[in-house]
Structure 1
Amino acid sequence: MKIAHISDAHLGRQQYHLPEREEDYFQAFAEALRLAKGADAVVVTGDLLDTRRPSTRTLLRLLDILGETGLALYVVGGNHDYSHLRPDETPLRILDKVGAARLLCFQEADLGGVWLYGACATPRSKADEYRERILSARPGSVLAIHQAIEGVKARYPSAADEYTMPSRAFSGVKAVHIAAGHVHDHGVRHLVGALWAGSLEIWDSAEFETWDWRKGKWELYQEAAPKGFYIIDVAGRAASAKEVLLRPRRRMVKLRVFLDEEREAEAAFEEAAARFDAPGAVVKVELYGDVRGDLRPSRHAAAFSRALYVDVVDRTRKPSHAVARVGSAYEAVERLLRERLGAGADAVVKALAHARDGDRAAARKIMEEWLYAEVDRA
């Protein structure tokens, strides 16, 4: 029995407000399904959709893609497309009702001699309840989850993430394999036996191909994060995982420019445009160093004429205008936010930091996730 393990497609996400990036997410999902044609079934371990309130266009596009596959599709609710407080208010129910996919939310399915048990995203505050439910899975089942687990080494999410389960929640689980979602890093494993397929597309600039400008030259800091899925081959009481990588659809580049003096910026951008200004590219530039003059990010962004999207963020320190956080007005505002908003203050502070850095899309996403969580708790 071969099961294609796909995760975190986040369909409908318009990264940086670019319709081209929204299309990239759909194309990555469609390509994954094409490459999974030889599998007996496909399981999506959460966040098939980017929101519990997708547009009609997003749902129709998804149904078109699913209608072309002919594969048996099973989905688990993720924290983006499912709420444990309102389990019936998920677009995944629509897919289930029309027969496009079967939603497994603390339920099992017989795939033909192999049992699949799906566990929807659950906050860590419900760890004991979560453990009881997954322990009900038949021994030897494939367990499909949408959680991070304490101790997992990944870029995102952090240990403080609401959907990071303690390892003890999986104590006694007798699954032949744990197919996991929520962590976007492809190929991450945990000692409890979990394997994360990762997101199908680049999520944020932490995963970009990254280059550093130091001492007058560009040096590669990291390659773009790999993206793909797994074919889980289950035979009796054993399972093996075969990696399937997806080709990058678009060049996503982060350039970190470390300046010793202002005039270096001209040379850095001239060479950057020659090397990284490709048609359709997404380019994020961050400027660092102690620089007194005005670097005018918009002027430097204009050096890229062929890229789809360019964002230049000035992170340089200007001594004459430096503001200390300790005892400053900034600290007072942050303290006031925490007093008035409680837990919501962290979301507001993070959103403001992203907005200050020019990443409005990330700021908006943080605020939307907090507001949706507030509605669910109401």
Structure 2
Amino acid sequence: MPRFLHLADVHLGFDRYDCKERTQDFFYAFNDAIEKYAIAERVDFVLIAGDLFEHRNIQPATLNQAQYCLQELQKAGIPVLAIEGNHDNRPYGTKTNWLRYLADWGLLILLEPGDATAEESFYSPWNGRSGAYIDLDCGVRVLGSSWYGTSAPKAIEQIVAAMGKLPPSAGPTILMFHHGLEGQIARYQGALRYADVLPLKQAGVDYLALGHIHKSYSLENWIFNPGSIEANSVEEASYQRGVYLVEINETGIQAELKQDYYQRDVVRLKLSTNGQESVEELEQQAIAQVQQAIQQNRLRPADAPIVELRIDGQVGFDRLELDTRRLQQQLQQLSNALIFLLKYEVDSLAYASHLTEDASRLQIEREVFLDLLTANNSYKKRAAELADGLIALKEQQLEGRSEAELYRFVRDMVLPERLYSVDALESEELS
């Protein structure tokens, strides 16, 4: 009975965090997955349902990674069948890309439908160098497709029509298709409805091998999407994802999601503030949050994980008073994180005192000062006193008092407990 490995969204060359080690993670994940679930399991073939690469234009090191993994499969006698995704498809108007390069070197079979506008056959058989479908020795027919974007529903109509013109298949038929179905993740526009893809099953597709959405899902035991091999963002860390090890036999399709391969840990932490903390207290709470995660073994410094700490809520000080760069560096050192993401998403406390319609200008000024002072933890206990002081300061300035007099007034208002020597006072006035 045919057995195969279905994977997608490898994203070799991933460089979102500008971190060489993180880029390497995607190679390690790909290599480990194929060693464990393709080579060791002696599958008949491997499917890559789009986005082998993160970019259309790749670095030499990324090409080397792809070649190494594909050569290992070649040595094991396991053919690799691939299609383009939205990340690595060939630009409009061009005839080649890096997937075509790998196909020309015999490292994979790139299944590309013909161009109907150029009067090419939509589904021509693989001839050793090009083609859109292939009948494998194990009795499985595999059909390819392209990246269609918003025109996917129209493309499905073309695929169904083209399938009707093909000779009968000796066994099950698989279609690789890089697109997503609705209802799987939030904020994904252009997703296909089940009704859009159902004609494929009616036309003879037994296994729809999807890619594109980085979360694993399956429907009706004929639609399968493994998700990305590695998390492309901290948000994706919570997704079920992996590779499908599949067997098709007389009882149907048995697809098992495999996840036990190299993946870097991603730890997400959250700290909510209530507006009562000082800057120093907030820093200590952030440190304590990371320490607690370490103690609970949720965060293992020895693994050099990716860590996100999201701070939200309200703060009783100007939000810019917190030195986020310095705090991020402290937390990264404490956690030994490969990447530490500090998401500082707070609002400063705001107060709005109720004023009557006939309030005087002096009353309005005082309430404005009170609101500003009350919102700052450093001054709110003395807000009324300081508000009166600021009004008095304004009056003295209007009276034409000297800078030295105004300085002494502010000093005594803000720091009434401080005792100044004559020398210290003279030094301050001269500075």
TM-score interval, smaller chain: 0.7 to 0.9
| Cα separation, 2, equivalents of 1:269 and 1:124 | 44
Q: Equivalences for 1:13-52 in 2 at 5 Å?
A: 13-35=14-36, 36-37=38-39, 38-52=42-56
Match of 1:3 in 2: 4
What secondary structure, in the 3-state scheme, does the structure 2 residue paired with 1:128 have?
A: helix
Question: Within the alignment, does 1:105 sit opposite 2:112 as a pair?
Answer: yes
| Residues 133/11 of structure 1: CA separation in 2 closer, same or farther (3 Å cut) | same
Q: Equivalences for 1:148-159 in 2 at 5 Å?
A: 148-149=180-181, 151-154=182-185, 158-159=187-188
Question: Within the alignment, does 1:65 sit opposite 2:92 as a pair?
Answer: no
- Kept in 2, the 8 Å contact 1:135–1:172? The answer is no
- Whose helix fraction is larger, Structure 1's or Structure 2's? 2
Match of 1:327 in 2: none
Q: Equivalences for 1:160-171 in 2 at 5 Å?
A: 160-161=189-190, 164-171=191-198
| Residues 87/175 of structure 1: CA separation in 2 closer, same or farther (3 Å cut) | farther
Question: TM-score scaled to structure 2, two decimals?
Answer: 0.65
| Residues 248/285 of structure 1: CA separation in 2 closer, same or farther (3 Å cut) | farther
| Cα separation, 1, equivalents of 2:233 and 2:55 | 17
| One-letter amino acid matched to 1:269 | A
Aligned CA-pair RMSD? 2.5
Query: Cα offset for 1:255?
Result: 1.5
Q: Equivalences for 1:67-146 in 2 at 5 Å?
A: 67-70=71-74, 71-83=78-90, 85-86=92-93, 88-106=95-113, 107-112=132-137, 113-137=139-163, 140-146=172-178
| Cα separation, 1, equivalents of 2:306 and 2:109 | 36
The structure with more radius of gyration: 2
Question: TM-score scaled to structure 1, two decimals?
Answer: 0.73
Structure 1: unaligned runs, 5 residues or longer: 209-223, 323-378
Question: Within the alignment, does 1:195 sit opposite 2:195 as a pair?
Answer: no
| Residues 152/108 of structure 1: CA separation in 2 closer, same or farther (3 Å cut) | farther
| Residues 88/169 of structure 1: CA separation in 2 closer, same or farther (3 Å cut) | farther
Query: Cα offset for 1:307?
Result: 1.7
Match of 1:286 in 2: 310
- Kept in 1, the 8 Å contact 2:6–2:226? The answer is yes
| Cα separation, 1, equivalents of 2:57 and 2:160 | 28
1:156-208 deviation per Cα after TM superposition (whole angstroms, max 9, x unaligned): xx3314xx33444323222111111001002x124593210110001111123
Q: Equivalences for 1:211-290 in 2 at 5 Å?
A: 224-235=238-249, 238-260=252-274, 261-263=276-278, 265-274=282-291, 275=294, 276=299, 278-279=301-302, 280-290=304-314
What secondary structure, in the 3-state scheme, does the structure 2 residue paired with 1:66 have?
A: helix
- Whose strand fraction is larger, Structure 1's or Structure 2's? 1
Query: Cα offset for 1:68?
Result: 1.8
| Cα separation, 2, equivalents of 1:250 and 1:100 | 28
1:38-62 deviation per Cα after TM superposition (whole angstroms, max 9, x unaligned): 1100010000011111112211221
| One-letter amino acid matched to 2:282 | A
- Kept in 1, the 8 Å contact 2:227–2:240? The answer is no
| One-letter amino acid matched to 1:278 | P
What secondary structure, in the 3-state scheme, does the structure 2 residue paired with 1:258 have?
A: strand
Match of 1:183 in 2: 213
1:251-286 deviation per Cα after TM superposition (whole angstroms, max 9, x unaligned): 211222111132452343222332236142211221
Question: Within the alignment, does 1:304 sit opposite 2:340 as a pair?
Answer: no
Structure 2: unaligned runs, 5 residues or longer: 114-131, 353-431
Higher deviation after alignment, 40-49 or 292-301: 292-301
What secondary structure, in the 3-state scheme, does the structure 2 residue paired with 1:254 have?
A: strand
- Kept in 1, the 8 Å contact 2:51–2:87? The answer is yes
| Cα separation, 2, equivalents of 1:130 and 1:85 | 20
What secondary structure, in the 3-state scheme, does the structure 2 residue paired with 1:69 have?
A: helix
| Cα separation, 2, equivalents of 1:66 and 1:227 | 22
| One-letter amino acid matched to 1:20 | E
| Cα separation, 2, equivalents of 1:203 and 1:160 | 19
| One-letter amino acid matched to 1:89 | T
| Cα separation, 2, equivalents of 1:277 and 1:269 | 17
| Cα separation, 2, equivalents of 1:129 and 1:80 | 19
